[in-house]
Structures are given as structure tokens and as C-alpha cells.
Amino acid sequence: MLKISIIVPFFNSSSYLKECLESILEQPNVDLELIAINDGSTDDSLEIVNNIAAEDCRLTVASFENGGLSIARNRGLKIASNDYVMFVDSDDVLERNSLGPIAKHLKDENLDCCMFNGKVFYDGEKEKYRLINFDYERPSLLGVFSGTELFNEMIRLQKYNTSACMYIFRQSAMSDIQFYPNIYHEDNLFTTQLLLSQKLKRVSIYPLVVYLRRVRNNSIMTEVKSLKHLLGFWTVYEELKKTNTSDKITLKSLRSYQLRTLKKVVQTSYKIETKDNSKNALYWRLMAVKEYFLKGYFIDAPRSFKFFSKSILGFRG
């Protein structure tokens, strides 16, 4: 049976941890180790995890000083002993009986990575989040692809979801890729680097809902946008500029995603533009516009010209 290491970083997640961990440990037909990384919790999260670990030897607990989600995930990767790895956030859960079919598909097709679907559930009033796009459905692409081929197809179909919790991958395919520390939107960078690394030779999308994402107050998804959100997008953009490819189709797809990330910088700059933060917002908006023109994105995507031109004057595109 195929073996999977599932990494769950947690920080002050006592309200959700038991439900999260049990949704993993109760999965049938899969050989797993569960690694819970305590990222410096100050509530009773660690006690909850230790109690579960005392009853189930598949759960390993490791505690560290707080370093943020990226560093906690990287620490979990160093502990993981199985060939395949998956990440789960501590306030989310897995659909019942969903991991077994994915594990079987990975083994039967000898895959380096299997992507799957997710959906959201609401911890509070759904109406509060009606303007946020929670689309975790993969495109319907049959067959086995390389990482770059699948990246190109998802970009072409405008169905590219970067959540690191929405796939299982072979750990040896990571090479030297790690989560970039101390930024938001680290998944945008990690997933893209992984797909373009040339290490994923066999990747497939399995049309099954596995991951259930909780939408709640004060999460990274729903909290009021800050300069850290903007700088996360900017870091992703800067790091992706270092990616080299000689394939014309992949280069076109990569530039398309870089442009999408620059747009996120501009859009976030408007969301953080307050009286006390107006200079920061303006600075990074103009930096994004400068990149747009200097790197020739207006040639690749002429329809975006209006968006970035208006941004110079502070008008929303």
C-alpha cells in the first residue's frame, strides 16, 4: 500500500484541531503518518494534539518557536519519512473516504503528483464572504501530463489553483524547493516552482473532492488586506522572474501568471490604501506598473494596457 506523510502545522488552533486531525486519521485504505508541527502555540492546541497522539501511534508531534506557516511546513518536510507528502491546514478537514481512491490512483498510474478538488464550508455567516471567490475545482483534464504540460493547460483554461493542500506529490520531486519564509501567498510560488521544476514527470487530476476548506473570520483568506498581503504577491513575482525555460509555450504561460501576480499587487494596493498607508500603496502600485511596461507585458496581453495605465493615475482599471 502506498505510504503518505501528511503535514499539519498549527498555531493556536484549539477550536479546530481535533476535527482536523480526526478527519485524517479516520481515512480508510491508506497507510499514513501524520506530522503535527506546533508553531509556538500559546493556547491548549498542543495538549489536544498530544492527547490524540497518545491514542494513535501514527501521529508524530514536534514543537518549535513560532516561525510562520512556511517554516512550519519546511520543518514538517524534514521529518516526513514516506515517499508521498500532503499538507493540511489546521482549521480544515478532509472529506470522508477520499484519500484511499487518491492513493490507489497514485500507485496504479505511478504518478509523481495527483491533484484533486476541494470545496468550502462556512464557519459563520456565508453572506459576509459573498464577494470572495472560493473556486477549488480543477479543470476536467484526462490523462497523465508532465508538470509543465499541466501548468500550461491550467493557465490556458484560466483554472490554475495554487493551494498546496490540493495535491499529493512525491517528496523526491521537490529537489531543493522549499516554502518561501515569512510571506503570505507562499503557495503561489511553491506550487508554480514545483510544476516547472522538471521533476514532475507524471501528474494527473483526479476529479474527486478531497479537501474541505473552512471559511471563517480572521483567517488569511478573509482578514482585511494589509501591506503583508501585497508584499507576498510582489515576492512571488520577483522569485518567478528567476525561473528559466526555453520552451515557448511554458514561457508564455509563466509570463501570463507573472502578469496576473502584478495585477494582484495593484488590486491589493487599493485595498490597503488608507490615510496612514497611502504612500506604501502608491509606491508598490507604481512599481507594478513600471514592471508591466519595462518587461513588455503590454505586448503579451494588450487588453491589460487600460488596467495598468489607469493605475498610474490612481484609477482602478
Please, what CATH class does the domain formed by 3-215 belong to?
alpha beta
Looking at residue 125, its pLDDT comes to: 61
Distance of CA 267 to CAs 208, 224, 260, 316, Å? Answer: 32, 13, 10, 8
Strand order of the sheet with strand 203-215?
Answer: 59-64, 31-39, 3-10, 84-87, 167-170, 113-122, 203-215, 93-94
Distance of CA 98 to CAs 61, 94, 118, 135, 292, Å? Answer: 24, 7, 11, 19, 42
Low-confidence ranges of the chain (pLDDT < 70): 124-135, 217-223, 275-276, 313-317
pLDDT tens string 135-190: 688 999 999 999 999 999 999 999 999 999 999 999 999 878 999 999 999 999 99
pTM above 0.85, yes or no: yes
Domain positions in the chain are: 3-215, 227-312
* H or E segment to which residue 49 belongs: helix 45-55
Lookup: cell for 65: 518557536
Distance CA 85, CA 7 (A): 7
